[in-house]
């Protein structure tokens, strides 16, 4: 069974505090930037997949795939994970997708 957020030993994941302070950039700020970059990449991949599915005459997404994704987030992150999954799905379906734009609205 996957490890949940509540059971993670944060001290194993954290670099030395002095290195973070010396850089002048907070660890959380760097993590947020990495998360945003990964989310943008995921949204672009999802939109590309949806366009390919539509071009093949298939529905852009399936309820089963979206439900499986939400279950995965809920299993790993608990109930807040469902909200995160829903937000990711909403980004993937944004109005920019319908117009063919490659930009993720922020």
Alpha-carbon span 10 to 31, nearest angstrom: 13
User: What is the tens place of the pLDDT at every residue in 47-92?
Assistant: 999 999 999 999 999 999 999 999 999 999 999 999 999 999 999 9
- pLDDT value, residue 1: 46
Count Cβ atoms within 10 A of the Cβ of residue 42 and give its class: 0-12 exposed, 13-18 middle, 19 or more buried.
middle
Orientation of helix 63-77 relative to helix 79-92, angle to 10°: 140
Question: Would you list the domain boundaries of the chain?
Answer: 18-99
Alpha-carbon span 79 to 92, nearest angstrom: 21
* CA triple 50-55-61, angle to 5 deg: 30
- Under the banding of pLDDT at 50, 70 and 90, the label for residue 6 is low
- Under the banding of pLDDT at 50, 70 and 90, the label for residue 30 is very high
CATH of domain 18-99: 1.20.59.10
């Amino acid at each position: 069974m996957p490890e949940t957020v509540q059971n993670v030993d944060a001290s194993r994941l954290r670099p030395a505090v002095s290195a973070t302070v010396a850089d002048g950039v907070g660890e959380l700020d760097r993590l947020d930037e990495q998360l945003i970059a990964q989310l943008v990449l995921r949204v672009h991949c999802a939109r590309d997949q949806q366009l390919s599915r539509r071009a093949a005459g298939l529905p852009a997404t399936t309820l089963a795939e979206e439900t499986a994704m939400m279950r995965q987030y809920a299993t790993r992150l608990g109930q807040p994970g469902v909200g995160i999954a829903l937000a990711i799905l909403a980004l993937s379906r944004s109005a920019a997708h319908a117009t063919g734009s490659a930009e993720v609205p922020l």
